[in-house]
Amino acid sequence: MGRRKKFRQSPLPQSAPQSTPSMAETQRPSSSVAATRQIRAEQRIFSGPLPPPEALEKYNQILPGLADRIVAMAEGQSKHRQHIEQLAISAKVKNERRGQYLAFILAAITLSGSFWIISLGKSPEGIAGIIGTLVTLAGVFIFGRWSQRRELSEKRRALLSEDTES
């Protein structure tokens, strides 16, 4: 079957002393003298702008007033976040209003042009312009409502999934 290799031990160099351990050296300590080592790991997780009250108390023990500074920092961050959110909402409202004004102007120009074409005696082209403008406006309105509903349902789903994870 398989071959076994024989390893030959080389003799110890002349400089190395050859001695056998004494009985005292080979004995292991008795079980009553054996030392035990215990390792303990602890992990604490928290989420939110502030650590738990116990941690704040320990911070104050390390450096007096540190807990107040941490709370003030969290309050400042919260105010900053709310300010940024307010700016974002205001910008979104302005953009929507600007879009509505421009859509109204474009629709008015297109409808005026369509009525002018009808007054020149080209009724089919003018009517097509009017119908095209009205269909486009209705489509934009319907698409806007649909996208708002979809966005709200996605936000609801996200909130519900966060609640179930907690």
pLDDT of 7 higher than 50: no
Classify residue 122: in a domain, yes or no: yes
User: Is position 74 within any domain?
Assistant: yes
- Predicted local distance difference test score (pLDDT) of residue 27: 53
DSSP 19: -
Alpha helices per DSSP H over 20-122: 23-26, 53-62, 66-119
pLDDT score of 158: 87
Residue 38: inside a domain:
no
Q: For the segment 109-140, what is each residue's pLDDT rounded down to a tens digit?
A: 999 999 999 999 999 999 999 999 999 999 98
13-58 pLDDT tens trace: 444 444 455 444 455 555 556 677 888 888 878 888 888 999 899 9
Tell me whether residue 3 is in a domain.
no
Which residue do the tokens 């009517």 mark?
127
Average pLDDT (130-157) is 91
Total number of domains constituting the chain: 1
Q: Which of 54, 52, 56, 58 is nearest to 67 (CA)?
A: 56
Q: How far, in Å, CA of 88 to CA of 157, rounded?
A: 23
Tokens of 162: 């966060």
114: in domain: yes
Is 8 a member of any domain? no
Examine residue 61 and state whether it is found in any structural domain, yes or no: yes
- Domain holding 83, by residue range, is 49-165
Does any domain span residue 14? no
CA distance 16 to 53: 65
Cα–Cα distances (Å) from 145 to 148, 149, 152, in that order, read 5, 6, 11
- Which range (18-22, 53-57, 79-83, 161-165) has the least confidence? 18-22
Indicate whether 1 pLDDT > 50. Answer: no
Taking the CA atoms of 91, 96, 102 and 104 in sequence, report the sign of the dihedral they define: negative
